[in-house]
Homo-oligomer: A and B are copies of this chain.
Amino acid sequence: MDTAIGGYNYGDIPASPVSLEELQLLKQTVDLTDADIAWLRRAGDVLEDQTAQVVGAWREVIAANPHLARYYWSREGVPDENYKARVARRFQQWILDVCRRSYDRPWLDYQHEIGARHTHLKKNMADAANAVPHIPLRYVIAFTAVINGRVKPFLAAKGASVADAEAMHGAWCKATLLHVALWSRPYVSESDW
C-alpha cells in the first residue's frame, strides 16, 4: 500500500454491502477468466510507467467537456487544482490496482468506496474539497468508453505484439465494466442493483 497517495485508503475503509458471492457472479457476467487475470498482470507491467500519460489521455476528454470538468470545480465554477491533482494520483494508482490486485474482500470494499466517492455520500471528503458534490451515474457509465478506448495505444508498448495488446485490452475492458457495475451500487436501491 502506497501511503504517500493522499486519500488512498485501500485496506482501511468500511465494508462493502456487496457479498463475495455477488462478486463471483459479476465476474462471470463479464466473463472474466483466469487467462484474463494473467493478461491484466501483463498489462500492469506494460502500463506501470505510463500511468500519468494514460490519465492525461483520459483527462483530455474531460478538459474538452465543461459538463465533465466541472466535477473538479467549485459550485461557482472555480477549478480546484489541489483536488484535481490528488484525484489524478489515485486515478494512476487505480490503473495498477485494476491490473494487479486480487479481486477479493479488501478490493471489493474499496470499489464501494470509489463508487461512493462519486456521489453526494462521499465526494470531496477524502480531499477536503469543495467541488460539485455528485457525479451523475450516467457519466460514470458513459465515460468507461473513454477509459477503455484511450488506454489501448498504451498497451502496445514495451514490445507487446498486436495480439498481446489485443488480449490485454480485452481483459482490461472486462475488468473496467466489473468495476463500474460495483461503483453503481451506491446510486441505486439494494433491490434494483
Contact = CB atoms under 8 A, between A and B. Distances in A.
Interface of A: 22, 25-26, 28-31, 61, 65, 67-68, 119, 134, 136-139, 141-146, 148-149, 162, 170, 173-174, 177-178, 180-182, 184-185, 187-188, 191-193
- The A interface, classified by DSSP as helix, strand, loop or mixed, is helix
A61 B28 CA distance: 8
A157 B67 CA distance: 38
Given A26-B138, A138-B26, A138-B182, A174 B145 contact: yes
Integer count of this chain's copies in the complex: 2
A30 B145 contact: yes
Given A134-B192, A192-B136, A31 B184 contact: no
Nearest to A21: B67
